[in-house]
Chain A
Amino acid sequence: MQRDSGEGAAVLSLRGISRSFGTTRAVQEVDLDVAAGTVHALLGENGAGKSTLMNVVYGVHPADAGWISVDGRDVRITSPRQALGLGIAMVHQHHQLIPSLTVAESVTLAAAHTGWRYDKRHAAGHVQRLADRLGITIDAEARVSDLSLGDRQRLEILSAIDRDSRVVILDEPTAVLAPTEIEPLFRLLRKLAADGRAVVLITHRMREVFAASDAISVMRKGRLVDTLETARTTPDEVLGLVIPARREASAGATVLTGVVPGGTTTGAVPLPEQPTSRSSEPALEVDGLVVPPAPGTTGLDRLTFEAFPGEILGIVGVEGNGQHELVEVLAGIRVPAAGSVRACGQPQRPGTLAPCTAIVPEDRHREALVLDLSIEDNLVLPVLGRYTRGGLLKKRAVRQHAQRTISEFAVVAGSSAAPTRSLSGGNQQKLVLARALDQSPRVLVASQATRGLDPGATAELLDRLRQVAAQGTCVVYLGSDLDEVVEVSDRVAVMYGGAVVGQSTDPDAERDTLAALMVGGGG
């Protein structure tokens, strides 16, 4: 399958592309050539500017400066519509699909030229033929809202091919896929390249780069560091470009350990002795929880597990396998159809927060924080009674509490009266965690807590969780990234179809088994 990446002419050329957001210079003077017939990986950390650069190409965030040429012709792209007209399509990480439409309607909608009339049968046939040609199975009559995330992605690619796009950009396509879905995706991408298209693969995962690409461009802090030919480089060389500090870290460990100054490495973390934690009573017992399935999620199907004081129980699974429902039930937002929860020995009253439990919900902006309220106000929301006298807020006590938390958790904030909207993601997450720990919980449930955080903030957060567990708290960590969950947890359970389908007390060694379980494979 190896091709010479220099074989095709550059179908897409960027020269001196820059784009800022406010004072943040997201992309700075990037030159890039993407050749036809190749898969070109765009690699870098979070916030390195990869997505922004490609959103410039796709017209979502038009460039502040620089030139774009397609097939050697200079073009100006200020909207996705223009980009599509030039044969550039982009599959976003958060899929740009309309849930209420059917697959066939979605493809028709995105198509450039169709008649006034929408003929259901004709459209369905068209989609089916297209899917067959690419070797994809998809039900043309299905509603988008009923599709799995993988199917939605295939639908997006289908649309791009239907328009005969010559440049197909995919933003972190594997983020939503189960490990076993990744290989077929890469085969599909190769097929697209073999047709003479240029495929741009945005990713931050090294193994994907070597599994799928012909050329690698590395971005760091908004700049394009270098472009290498995949066949003539090594993972170590590439990694050195992505994070210079990483060069010295030992192979095998994740990058995280290398970038945190003074941070403990995974191996050095003092883990509580497993046997002692096992011998004690479970801190959290979830027994036979049932939540009916809904579009986009499997609900819970007699979910049962236990978690012990002083351990970090990782619950890993592809999103939409009931994790969100589990957190909702524990938080008292959702009443399960059946089943019960006990925390620190007491039963949970359905519809209320589980006893002595604190929650770090998965979506910081939507579920955890009230962004327009100040840091002070957010911090006291769950304990308002403590800061109220005669109905009036004890303003001074609230402020002192906030300032204490800010210094204790090293939150970078202008003032405690600033709206939480003004904080960075990492600092927002610190607040959420601080608020959860402020209630001295015996059980801490954290869901997708590192999402959107940069490596430093991620490492800090995971370290904090380890400390919390070391002090005897039971930590339940829900995540969709197997490697991260394995790294932080003492014990890993896999959630699939709303139930725990397997667990491992030695997750490092059983990684592949866990990966198989995540997609319902036997293990």
Chain B
Amino acid sequence: MTGSNPPTVTAVPETPETPETPEATTTDPRRRAVSRLATLFDRPWPAITAAFVVSLGIGLLLVVLTGGGVAETVDVAARATVGSQQGLIDTLVYTTPRLLVAIGVIVALRAGQFNLGAEGQLQLGAIGAALGGAFLAPSLPGPLALPVAVAMAMVCGALWAGIAALMKVLRGCDELISTLLLNFVAVYLVQLLVQGAMKDPDSTFNQSRRVIADAELPRFGFTRLHYGFTIALVCVLLVWLLLERTSLGLRFRSIGHNAVASRYQQLDVGVLTVLAMLISGAICAVAGAGETLGVQFRLIQGFSSGFGFEGLAIAFLAALRPGRALVIALVFGGIFSAATRLQQEVGVTASLAYVVEGLPIVLLACAAGLQALRVKRRGLA
């Protein structure tokens, strides 16, 4: 230093200064902090409701534009959901696979894994269930048939998700893309099997043999509703327990929010990543098993009308919380039930449901983004 310095070393507190604005530092090194979605979508119910109202309004507009009447549409939609027993049951039937997928992806997302492969995992679940229910079950004692079929489904789904997890842990491949690609491989794998190895020799259609009666999911009374719905409810509870009450769940949430800090605390991020994906895949696979053992009773092509992505949408809207996912899944089930009934009675294509389901997440994502911007700009915690 120069002579203008006083003889003694004098300093104002010697700490390298951090930005003086609160929240100014980036807190997560990952490009996409997946579990950020939990906070991002943690919107108040009025906001979520508003998004659905807007989206339902647009749906109604589409129906009217394509020649439906407003009163008629509302009436049909009501009967297809809460307005009749049949509607209620249909709604629950449609809810089941979507809820299971949502619960499954929530496990992965909370652990920071962007599992977009639910569609593929549920296809594998269907394959596993058909293998268990139609090929393995006949040689098993009756009471074991159903558990074995479901277990095989879960194993298949878990392994499928495990591929993406291993690719990520060992080779650094982004699970976002690998799970997406695996979806298509899975869909064509089902096609391959029902046309070849698993084709029912007695049928002209490309489908597997029927699962045996013991492997079928029991139903509620004489309705279409099968016990898959109960399984889904149990899964909601179990996943909630896992995430909120177990140390494994805490480890998952920890790596989901901040993998680096978790490593400093001696968590094995690689193993936890794989584990979260396996659990996620297994639950998504139950959705496929439910369709195979409770609705279709055989492996067929195209049994899933994109449940995978609807389940993701539910998980987002539910802010990755199992309890909320149940509510949102029921809404989605109702939307799909209504759309299906509209197709039958009014002649509007059921794919209307996708429009009505997709819009709210786009709207809420925009709202959440603007909110985050406001927080950042104003330094509001």
Which A421-459 residues have C-beta < 8 A from chain B? 421-422, 425, 448, 450-455, 458
Question: If A239-B12, A368-B261, A481-B14 touch, does A52 touch B5 (CB 8 Å cutoff)?
Answer: no
Q: Which of B24-32, B71-79, B224-232, B361-369 contacts A (4 or more CB under 8 A)?
A: B24-32
The listed residue (B1, B13, B261) touching A204 by CB distance below 8 A is: B13
Across the interface, which residues of B come within 8 angstroms of A243, CB to CB?
12
Does B204 sit within 8 A of A, measured CB to CB? no
Q: Which of B9, B19, B261, B379 contacts A367 (CB 8 A)?
A: B261
Question: Does A425 contact B21, Cβ atoms closer than 8 Å?
Answer: no
B255 CB to closest chain A CB (Å) equals 9
Q: How many A residues have CB within 8 A of the partner chain?
A: 82
**Closest residue to A60 on the B side, CB-wise?**
B21
**Would you list which residues of chain B between 5 and 56 have a CB under 8 Å from chain A?**
5-6, 8-22, 25-29, 35, 38-39
The interface centre, meaning the residue of B25, B260, B261 with most chain A CB atoms within 10 A of its CB, is: B261
**Interface status of A73 (Cβ within 8 A of chain B):** no
Decide: A22 and B12 in contact? CB cutoff 8 A: no
Report the nearest A residue to B22, measured CB to CB. A21
Contacts of A365 in B (CB 8 A): 25-27
Q: Which of A9-17, A83-91, A133-141, A249-257 interfaces with chain B?
A: A249-257
Please choose the segment from A340-348, A383-391, A490-498 that sits at the chain B interface, where 4 or more of its residues have CB less than 8 A away.
A383-391
**Chain B 331-368 residues near chain A, CB threshold 8 A:** none
B36 → chain A closest CB, angstroms: 8
A22-B381, A235-B6, A455-B13 known; A52 and B264 CB under 8 Å?
no
With A211-B2, A381-B265 given, is the CB distance from A393 to B250 under 8 Å? yes
Is B203 on the interface with A (CB-CB < 8 A)? no
Which of A44, A254, A370, A452 sits near B11, CB closer than 8 Å?
A254
Q: Are A382 and B265 neighbours in the complex by a CB distance under 8 Å?
A: yes
Q: Which residues of A contact B260 (CB under 8 A)?
A: 366-367
Is A467 close to B, CB under 8 A? no
- A352–B268 Cα distance when bound, in Å, is 10
B229 to chain A, nearest CB (A): 27
CB of A103 to closest CB in B, whole Å: 25
Q: Does A322 touch B at the CB level, under 8 Å?
A: no
In the complex, how many residue pairs between chain A and chain B have their CB atoms under 8 Å apart? Answer: 200
Q: Give bound CA distance, A382 to B266, whole Å.
A: 7
- Asked if A93 CB lies within 8 Å of chain B CBs, one says yes
Q: A93-B17, A255-B12 are in contact. Are A368 and B247 (CB under 8 A)?
A: no
- The smallest C-beta distance from A507 to any residue of chain B, in angstroms, reads 12
Q: Does B248 contact A (CB under 8 A)?
A: yes
Shortest distance from the beta carbon of B87 to any chain A beta carbon, whole Å: 40
For residue A95, CB closer than 8 A to chain B, the reply is no
With A and B bound together, what is the CA distance between A451 and B29 in angstroms?
19
| SS of A interface (majority) | mixed
- The chain A residue with its CB closest to the CB of B33 is A372
Residues of A within 8 A of B377 (CB): 61
Residue of B nearest to A388 (CB): B247
B263 nearest in chain A by CB position:
A333
B9, B19, B21: the one contacting A483 at CB < 8 Å is: B9
Q: Is B378 interfacial (CB-CB < 8 Å)? A: yes
By beta carbon, the residue of chain B nearest A372 is B257
- Given A45-B12, A210-B4, A51 and B19 touching (CB < 8 A)? yes
Which residues 251-265 of A have a CB within 8 angstroms of B?
251-252, 254-256, 259
Instruction: Decide yes or no whether A287 CB sits under 8 A from chain B.
Output: no
A366 touches B18 (CB 8 A): no
Asked if B191 lies at the interface with its beta carbon under 8 angstroms from chain A, I say no
Asked if B296 is at the interface (CB within 8 A of a chain A CB), the reply is no
Select one of B2, B10, B254 contacting A377, CB under 8 A. B254
- Nearest chain B CB to A273 CB, angstrom units: 26
A361 interface residue, CB < 8 Å from B? yes
Q: Is A207 an interface residue when CB atoms closer than 8 A count as contact? A: yes
The yes or no answer to A294 lying at the interface (CB within 8 A) is no
Q: Does A163 contact B (CB under 8 A)?
A: no
Q: Are B13 and A255 in contact (CB under 8 A)?
A: yes
The reply on A395 being an interface residue by CB < 8 A is: yes
Say how far A29's CB is from chain B's closest CB, in angstroms.
Answer: 17
| Given A393-B250, A452-B17: A207 touches B11 (CB 8 Å cut-off) | yes
The distance in angstroms between the C-alpha atoms of A388 and B133, with both chains bound, is: 38
- Chain A 381-418, CB-CB to B under 8 Å as 1, else 0, gives 11011011001110100000000000000000000000
A518–B29 CA distance with the chains assembled, in angstroms: 29
Which of A21, A43, A175, A256 is within 8 Å of B379, CB to CB?
A: A21
Q: Is the CB of B257 within 8 A of A255?
A: no
In the complex the two chains form, what is the Cα distance from A454 to B13 in whole Å?
Answer: 8
Known: A26-B21, A172-B17, A367-B260. A381 touches B35 (CB 8 A): no
Q: With A384-B251, A393-B250 in contact, is A453–B245 under 8 Å at CB?
A: no
The answer on a CB contact under 8 Å between B265 and A204 is no
Chain A residues within 8 Å of B371, by CB: none
- Report yes or no: B16 in contact with A172, Cβ–Cβ below 8 A: yes
Give bound CA distance, A22 to B20, whole Å.
13
Chain B residues with Cβ below 8 Å from A204 are 11-15, 17
Chain B residues in the interface with A (C-beta under 8 A): 1-2, 4-6, 8-22, 25-29, 35, 38-39, 245-248, 250-251, 253-254, 257-258, 260-267, 377-381
Top 9 A-B pairs ranked by shortest CB distance? Answer: A21-B379, A452-B18, A455-B13, A252-B8, A381-B265, A388-B247, A204-B12, A370-B258, A372-B257
30 sample A-B contacts, Cβ–Cβ < 8 Å, listed by A number: A22-B378, A26-B21, A45-B13, A51-B20, A204-B13, A210-B6, A211-B1, A211-B4, A251-B6, A251-B10, A252-B8, A252-B9, A252-B10, A254-B14, A331-B263, A366-B27, A366-B258, A368-B261, A369-B258, A370-B261, A373-B253, A381-B265, A384-B250, A392-B246, A425-B18, A452-B15, A454-B15, A455-B13, A458-B13, A480-B16
